[in-house]
Each structure stands twice: as C-alpha cells, then as structure tokens.
Amino acid sequence: MPGGRAEMWNLLLDPAVLEKCIPGCEKLESTGPDQYRADLAVGVAAIKGKYSGLMTITNKRPPEAFQLQVSGQGAPGWVKAVMNFELAAQGQETVLHYQIDAQVGGLIASVGQRMLGGVAKMLLGEMFKGLRAQAEALER
Amino acid sequence: MAASAKSGKWVGSPMPRVEDRRLLTGTGVFIDDMNPVPNIHHVAVVRSPHAHARILGIDFARALEVPGVLGVVTGADFKALMKPLGVGIENPPPYYSVAVDKARYMGEPVALVVARDRYTAEDAAELVAVDYEPLPAVVCPEQAAQPEAPILHESLGTNVVLRRVMKYGNAEKAFAEADLVVSDRFVFPKYGSTPMETFGVIAQWNQVTGEYTIWANFHGPFSMHPVMAAALGVPGNKLRVITPKDIGGGFGIKTSIFPSMVMVAVVARKLGVPVKWTEDRREHLLSSSSGTDRVSYCQLAFKQDGTLTGWRQRWYDNVGGYIRAPEPACSFRTHGNLIGPYKVQDVELDANVVCTNRSLTGPNRGYGNQELYFPVERLMDIAAEKLGLDPAEIRRRNLIEPHQMPYTTPTGGVYDAGDYPTTLQRALESFGYEELKRERESAQQQGRLFGIGIALAVDPSVSNMGYVTVAYPPEYRAQPSYKAKGAANETVQIQVDPLGKVNVLLPSCPQGQGHETVAAQIVADELGIHPREISVNSEMDTGTRFWSITAGSYSSRFASVTSSAICGAARVIRDKVVAIAARAMDASPDQIELAGGEVRVRNSDKKMKFHHVTGLAHWNQSALPDGMSPGLNATFTFAFERALPPNEQDQVQSSQTYGFLAEVVAVELDPQTMKLKFRKWVSAHDAGNLLNPMLAEGQVIGSIAHGIGGAMYEEMAYDENGQCLTGTLADYLIPTAMEIPDIQIEHVNTPSPWTMLGSKGAGEASTETAPIVIANAVADALRPAGVTVRELPVTPSRVWHWVQAARSGG
C-alpha cells in the first residue's frame, strides 16, 4: 500500500472506505463502537444473492494489527469469517498481510464449493484493488 | 418375437419390453405429468442451511405479500396436524416431516410456501426469514457415538439410537483356538441411486369425508401405508395412495418418499387445496435419501488350512439426523445371510445405529449387503495372503456346498438353493484366472500397478417384514403386549374380460424393471395365448386394488414373490377355463390343454378358441359347470411359509430366496495419476431360473454400474460442519456409459424350490459385490506399493494420497 502504517490503518478502518471497497457492499452502518451492520450482494457463479451481516473489529493493535469478524446470512446460505490483518512498514510503504478463515454453508456450500476458492481470491483481489486506489488517491 | 424355440415358452425367452414403446415415444405417464384434480397449488420448501441449529423463529410475512401466495406452513402446524412418523425401535426420537424446534441436517424442511404456481412459490420462499441458532455438528457415526459428541436428540441423551449385541455359536472359543485372526476398521461411504425422476407428490384432503388421497411415485413397501395413516391420524381406509403408471427409477430410494407424502398431505389439509410438490435435483441430492454409511470393525478367525471358524463385526450405521423407517433395516436386512456364502457357525454381531447431522438414509439397491460384505471380503484377501493361499482358493474352501441346501445359517436364514462352487468356478474360467494372474506377474515385474479382485455374495431377495423387529431385544418381543411381525407375500389379480382379453393387476409399482413384460410372459404361458392379448396394469391404488402389507417393489422381490403370485392367479383362471371347456367339449379336465390361443382336447380334433371358452363365463351361465360362479377373475396371494417373526435366539429368515454371485475383475492403475482402468470384468450369477434373460442382463449391468458409482465416483461428501458439499451433479459424480467396462455375464441356474417358476431376485446382486471387487482389485494392485484399501470410494486423489503416505512411511 502506498503510504505509512498509521495512514493505512486509518484508511482500513474507515467505514466509508470499507463500504466502497468491500465487493458487493451496498450499505455499512455503524451499530456501536467497532460494530457494523452490512448489506451485501455477492454472487458465486450462478448463485447470486443478498446477505445481511454483522462486522466486528477486535484485537486492535494500532497501527500494526486488527481482526475483522464477519457473519452474514441470506437466501443462498451463510458465511462466517475471521480475518486477521497485519500492517508491516516497508520504507514509505505498508505491506498488508492477511489470513482468513471462512466457513460457508447452505446453497453456496453445496452448489458452489468447486468455485469457492477462485471466487474468494477474486473478491479479495477486488477489495485490495479498491483499497489501493483509495490509498493512492490519498497520497496524491 | 416368438416364445423360446427350445421350450416353446415365453418365460425364459428374451422378450422385448412392452413398456419401451410408450417410454421411447414420450407417452409414459409420470407423477409430474399428472394433474388428477382441479385447483392444484404448488409448494416450495424452505430448507435448513445449517446441519444443526435451533429454530428461534420464522418470519414469513413478506412471503405472504407476494401475489399468488396462498400460505406458509411451518413446524408448529406439523406438530399440531401430524404425529411423529413411526419407526421400529424402542424410544425412537420424534421425527416429523418438517423440523419442529431444531434442524438436524442440512436441507431439512423448515417451512413450506404454497402458491398458484411453483415459480411464485420459489420466489416467495426466498422471503421467508428463519432465525437460527447454529449448534455444533457431528457427521461421523463413530464420533457421534462418543459421550462428548454434540447430541442431536436431547430427550435421548445419546446419538446411539439402537444397539444390539447378538451371539451365535461360540465365537470366543473359535477365536481362542484360531491359527490366524485378521481384523481391521473399514468405512463404507454414503451414496444414493440418482434416479432420473426425483420425488413427486400430489395430495388432497377431503374435509367432508375426512379422507386423504395421495398420488406419489412411491414404490412400497406398503407397510409404510399404516405408518403414514398413523402419522396423519386417519384410519387406513381414509388414506388412499395412488402411484402413476410410470416411475422413473427407484432402486430403493423412493421407499423413503413417505415422509414427504405426509408433508404434502398436511399442507393440503392446512390450506384446504390440493398441493403438488416435485422435488428438484438439489433437494434430491441434499435431503431425499441415501444408502447408510457404516464404520465397521471386523474380525475373522481361521485355521491354518484356510477354514473360516469365527466371525465378528461391530458396526456403526449412520442414519443421519433422524432414524426413519425402515431403518434400522440396514443393520438387519442381512440378518439371515450374515455369514454370506461361507460355512462359519460362530458369529458375534454388535450393531450400533447412530444419528449424525447428515441426511437421512434408507433402502438403496443392495441395502445392507455391500456394507456387510465389504469388510469380510477385504479380510478374506488379507487372510489368504497371510496363509499363503490364493484368494479364490480360500473362498472355495469355505463355500456352502450344493448338497447342504437348503442351508440353515446360524442367524436363522435358510438358503433355498444354489451351486456356489460351480458359479465361482464358472467365473474364474470365464475370466481366464490363471492367465490373468500371469499377466499380473509380468505387469508387476515391469512396475505396473495391476491387480485382480474377487468378491462373493449371497444376494437375499424378498424381505420378511419381520426381520427389522430383531431390532427389539428378545425380552421386549416376549412381552404379552408386543405384536409380532412376519410376512412376505404378494397379491395379484387377473380378470379375463367378455371379449377374452386378459387384464393383470399388479401391486408392484415398477420403476422401469419391466414387470409388465414379465407378467405378460408368465400369463401367456399359463393360458396358452400370445402376450399381446394381455394388458398389465401396474398403477397402484390402495383404494381399489387388493394389496398386502408387503406389496411393492423392493428387496428384489418381483422375480420371487410377485412372479409366483402372477403364476398362481393365472393358474386359477386356467383351471376355470379348463373346467368350462371340459364341459363344453364333453371331455375330462385332464385331457384339456391351452396353447396357441386355443383350448384343445388332447389326442382329438376337438378344440375351441380361448375367447369362446372365456366368453361362456361372462355371457352364458347355463354353460358353466354346476356350482361355478359366472365371470372370470382371480385373486391369488403367494406367501412364503418361512417368513416368521424372529425367535428368542434372534434368528430370523430375513429373506425368502437367496441368489449367489461371484465377481472377478482385473484393473490397472496409472502410476502417475492413479486413474483406474478396467482390464476385465466377469460377473457370474446363480439366481435360479431366469424369467427373461434380457432383463436379467440389464439388471446385472445396471447394478454393476451402480456399484462402480459407489466404489469410484459417488459420495455424499460433508465437511466437518455438516455442510453437504455435493449438491449438484457436477460435484456428486455418477458414472455414465463411458465409465462402464464390457462385462461378461455368466449364469448357473439352480431353480429355487420355493417359487412357482424356480426364479429369484437378481437386480441388486452385483451392487453388493461391485464396490468390493473394485476395492479388492485396487488393493491387489497396490500391494507392491504397501497400501491396503479400507474405505471407499477409491478416487484417484484418495489413492494417490495413500500411496504417498506409504512412501513416506506413514
């Protein structure tokens, strides 16, 4: 990411930025400190659907690490994910490490499991592309 | 097509199927084609996305707002309008057609949305919001049996819904005195049948008469009829079950439609309209039914010469979220043939039936037999290797011999007939066993993975409905209030109409087996007329047809019991025709013969057309012998006398006839990819007299294809959270014609003394051995790599991992 850790930290935890960058995010509203309600529209191959979910930010160690816990439910099934992010300084830039443990159930699990790996990578790719674009806009 | 040139009989000839013309021209009538009453509404089912979850609430207000939606029915309605579905064990956990408080497997029905059409119902179903509290899940039956496992049914406090320990002879002594004991743990997978036609139900409630009518592609056993009537809270004669003329495949799976029949009936009653539900493919894969997966610990005792002296199995049958009738039948359908084709008398069984967060199980072609024989036939090979015997030889030394027939097994089975050694010998000769062993030797010298497998089975047909009561301990069955069960019979009706054409009414609900064809063959022979003079009506209707508790198609019963009932009914008609003709032609009845559409007096030129004789029965009662009633119809029930309840020693004649088969297969694995290629496949059967060899051949090939599916492709896979990962046919792979090798079929025909035509079931036989013979052949091929086979399916990736693990010393 083009920018220092503190700057990136603020960017990553800014709900307005997240709303823009999380693929399929239609709405992200704060329900308390570090707690959000999200409406998402995501498709896995032919299985398109809307999910409503909760997002909680925990284990904050600014500016180096935080954890996102996400759970969502919708007609195509449910998703539960724990995402650990680490920000490492590298010169003027920040390297973002992430580790995600996601569980899915319902239609997406029984119909989409062959595609899930690829779709997950694609969605993450989109998200980080969006975040980088936001960061670059900030740097300009 | 003419009758067999050799015998002059239709039975035994490869007569083409009379069903094919309508099926191939698209004029068959299947459940989804039927709209038997006006104003049918359609239902979409909301299913649990969780394997185990408490249902905290269901909000369907938005669904009701969709134009065209009539209503939504949920678990609370079911609790009010039905009783739990009965099942034959002590203290069964309550099982309703729809989840009441908890969902216990992924895909369990939670709510039903009814609308004017399916499209609207499906859209509205997406608007039903169910509030779940997910709970920990368990999918392995052995783990689920542990005390720390998540409990599915709190009222039971355990997931082990049944345990029966049964001992016959003195296995303890046999094992103590054995020269060799082999044992291992085996896992048989969960797979289904994948009929082309899924489940379908139409139900109507008549609030004036208090009668339910249900149309469904159910194929029996009709012992489920009283189960459904009791669940719906109506007398038996207020539940009319009708099946369509054509059912698009069943293979046992459609027995398990009965809870869905009750489900749709309750919806029809609640909303006051007739309702139709046609299951989609995903629903079928997630929640219809499958065979029972089993973890077994098997132990066999041998003498140095290869004599099998002791047999022990402890198994855990995984029946899924609820135990649904006829389970625990997987554990007990095979009870009489527990020892298979071997003479062992000292036997111990520890059968455990366990609920886990998987979909429910039930009859699936071969039901119980492949699970039973898999560990035994694997261990026969392992014992042969340790004793320095050929796998064919160790089996041969233990086979029951023809002169011992009828053979009583320690568990109460009585095998009717069969020549097991000749059948095995025929298989080996046809296979070219010695030659292929040489081929294996040279292949192995070149480092190729080439293996030969043998698997034998005794294939039971015609279940005694009393076998499943062996699930109750003898003390329970000894109580005065206990009602014993034991029956295996079929009732067939035949009527000859005023123009001399014959109608046969079958209660067998065929699903493509060709019952109409074989019934016509049998009746044609008995009445001396051409099969085209005979109409066979196989739509079942419990309101207008005579039927028995065991009616239907399951446990390979047609060729044993239904065929005998057809033959018996035809002989009643024949006897009456003979009596009328004898009077008309002034001859003695023993001089009369029926042939070529005529009724003739032997050694004379006196004869009458068949339809002239039968016409007298309808048109002119003065021409009938004294005391004979007019008309020409027959109802005949054929019953097996040994179909008795289990005795105090837990012995039961669980099936009524028993075929035998030997499967011998050679395979080669690609050393890089572990892809399996068949080199040769021989399947030799002794299923008594064949009624129609062409149909028998189709059954053998079909059952091998099904077994290949179970051994190599099909597996209802679940992750550790109980999520079913095989919800499409792109994930749940079934073999196609391209994956089925050329199969050489051999028959040894030892007639059954207990059926009217000497025939017996054959349609499940190879499903019981095909998965095992592949396992044995793959194990043989992998022996040089230090790998054995303890579980199925043997997919290339799984085999590759075994080989890698063996290489790294794991």
Residue B219 has pLDDT above 60, yes or no: yes
Whether B367 contacts B460, CB under 8 Å: no
Q: Which residues pair with B541 in a beta bridge?
A: B242
**Which pLDDT score, from 0 to 100, does residue B184 have?**
98
Query: Which residues in chain A touch residue B51, judged by CB atoms under 8 angstroms apart?
Result: 105
Question: How close is the nearest chain A Cα to the Cα of B47, in Å?
Answer: 9
Question: Does A110 contact B730 at a Cβ distance shorter than 8 Å?
Answer: no
Residue B810 has pLDDT above 60, yes or no: no
- Amino acid identity at B397: R
Residue B4 has pLDDT above 70, yes or no: no
Q: Could you give the strand order of the β-sheet that contains B180-188, starting from the edge strand earlier in sequence?
A: B160-168, B346-355, B308-320, B293-302, B180-188
- Amino acid identity at B798: R
> Among candidates B769, B682, B667, which has minimal Cα distance to B432?
B682
pLDDT class of B491 with cuts at 50, 70, 90: very high
Average pLDDT, chain B: 97
What number is the average pLDDT over the span B240-268? 97
Query: Which residues in chain A touch residue B285, judged by CB atoms under 8 angstroms apart?
Result: 110
Residue A40 has pLDDT above 90, yes or no: no
Question: Does A105 contact B106 at a Cβ distance shorter than 8 Å?
Answer: yes
Rounded to an integer, what distance in angstroms lies between the CA atom of residue B794 and that of residue B792? 5
- Amino acid identity at A107: L
- How large a percentage of chain B has pLDDT more than 90? 99
- Amino acid identity at B518: V
Q: Which residues of B342-372 are buried (b: 16+ CB within 10 A; e: fewer)?
A: bbbbbbbbbbbbbbbbbbbbbbbbbbbbbbb
Mutate which of B359, B725, B726 to test chain A, going by most A C-beta atoms within 10 A? B725
Q: Which residues pair with B316 in a beta bridge?
A: B295, B352
Across A116-125, B152-161, B243-252, least confident range: A116-125
Question: Does A103 contact B721 at a Cβ distance shorter than 8 Å?
Answer: yes
Phi, psi of B121 (to 5 degrees): -60, -40
Tens of pLDDT, residue by residue over B27-85, are 999 999 999 999 999 999 999 999 999 999 999 999 999 999 999 999 999 999 999 99
Q: Is the peptide bond before B326 cis (omega within 30 degrees of 0)?
A: yes
Question: How close is the nearest chain B Cα to the Cα of A131, in Å?
Answer: 32
What number is the average pLDDT over the span B92-100? 97
Rounded to an integer, what distance in angstroms lies between the CA atom of residue B496 and that of residue B703? 36
- Amino acid identity at A124: L
Closest-CA residue of A relative to B727 is: A110
Q: Which residues pair with A104 in a beta bridge?
A: A79
Tens of pLDDT, residue by residue over B407-433, are 999 999 999 999 999 999 999 999 999
Across A116-120, B195-199, B355-359, B504-508, least confident range: A116-120
Question: How close is the nearest chain A Cα to the Cα of B370, in Å?
Answer: 27
What number is the average pLDDT over the span B105-123? 98
Asked if A52 has any chain B CB less than 8 Å from its own CB, the reply is no
Closest-CA residue of A relative to B46 is: A75
For A106, which of B49, B719, B731 is closest by C-beta distance? B49
For B282, which of A78, A104, A111 is closest by C-beta distance? A111
What number is the average pLDDT over the span B692-704? 97
- How large a percentage of chain B has pLDDT more than 70? 99
For A114, which of B49, B721, B731 is closest by C-beta distance? B731
Q: What share of chain B is helix, strand, coil (3-state, %, to 5)?
A: 30, 25, 45
Asked if A124 has any chain B CB less than 8 Å from its own CB, the reply is no
Q: How many CB pairs below 8 A link A and B?
A: 47
Mutate which of A71, A110, A111, A114 to test chain B, going by most B C-beta atoms within 10 A? A110
Residues ≥6 apart with Cβ < 8 Å to B483: none
Residue A139 has pLDDT above 80, yes or no: no
For B723, which of A73, A110, A114 is closest by C-beta distance? A110
In this prediction the pTM is 0.95
CA atoms within 13 A on the CB side of B230: 10
Question: How close is the nearest chain A Cα to the Cα of B154, in Å?
Answer: 24
Q: What is the DSSP string of A61-111?
A: ETTTEEEEEEEEEETTEEEEEEEEEEEEEETTEEEEEEEEEEEEETHHHHH
Question: Does A109 contact B730 at a Cβ distance shorter than 8 Å?
Answer: no
What number is the average pLDDT over the span B697-717? 97
DSSP letter, residue B324: -
Tens of pLDDT, residue by residue over B586-612, are 999 999 999 999 999 999 999 999 999
Tens of pLDDT, residue by residue over A88-134, are 999 989 999 999 888 888 888 888 777 888 888 888 899 889 999 99
Q: Which residues of B touch A (CB under 8 A)?
A: 49-51, 106-107, 126, 132, 282, 285-286, 719, 721, 723-728, 730-731
Residue B262 has pLDDT above 80, yes or no: yes
What number is the average pLDDT over the span B290-299? 98
Tens of pLDDT, residue by residue over B434-453, are 999 999 999 999 999 999 99
Q: Is the peptide bond before B328 cis (omega within 30 degrees of 0)?
A: yes
Q: How long a stretch of residues is chain A?
A: 140
**Which pLDDT score, from 0 to 100, does residue B246 have?**
97
Rounded to an integer, what distance in angstroms lies between the CA atom of residue B708 and that of residue B22? 30
Across A106-115, B112-121, B293-302, B335-344, least confident range: A106-115
Residue B165 has pLDDT above 70, yes or no: yes
What number is the average pLDDT over the span B224-228? 98
**Which pLDDT score, from 0 to 100, does residue B651 have?**
98
Asked if A53 has any chain B CB less than 8 Å from its own CB, the reply is no
Question: Does B719 contact A114 at a Cβ distance shorter than 8 Å?
Answer: no
Query: Which residues in chain A touch residue B111, judged by CB atoms under 8 angstroms apart?
Result: none
Residue B540 has pLDDT above 70, yes or no: yes
**Which pLDDT score, from 0 to 100, does residue B254 have?**
97
What number is the average pLDDT over the span B182-191? 98
The bridge status of strand B239-242 relative to strand B211-216 is: parallel
Closest-CA residue of A relative to B108 is: A106
Q: Counting beta carbons within 10 angstroms of the beta carbon of residue B61, is it exposed (0 to 12), middle (13 to 18) or buried (19 or more)? A: exposed
Tens of pLDDT, residue by residue over A52-101, are 889 999 999 999 999 999 888 887 888 888 999 999 999 989 999 999 88
Question: How close is the nearest chain B Cα to the Cα of A77, in Å?
Answer: 6
**Which pLDDT score, from 0 to 100, does residue B616 have?**
98
Closest-CA residue of A relative to B132 is: A73
3-state SS track over B516-556: HHHHHHHHHHHHCCCHHHEEEECCCECCCCCCCCCCCCCCC
Query: Which residues in chain A touch residue B49, judged by CB atoms under 8 angstroms apart?
Result: 73, 77-78, 105-107
Residue B705 has pLDDT above 90, yes or no: yes
DSSP letter, residue B190: P
Rg of chain B taking only CA atoms, in angstroms: 27
Helix (H) or strand (E) holding B663: strand B655-669
Q: How far is CA B454 from the centre of its chain?
A: 23
**Which pLDDT score, from 0 to 100, does residue A77 have?**
85
Residue B5 has pLDDT above 60, yes or no: no
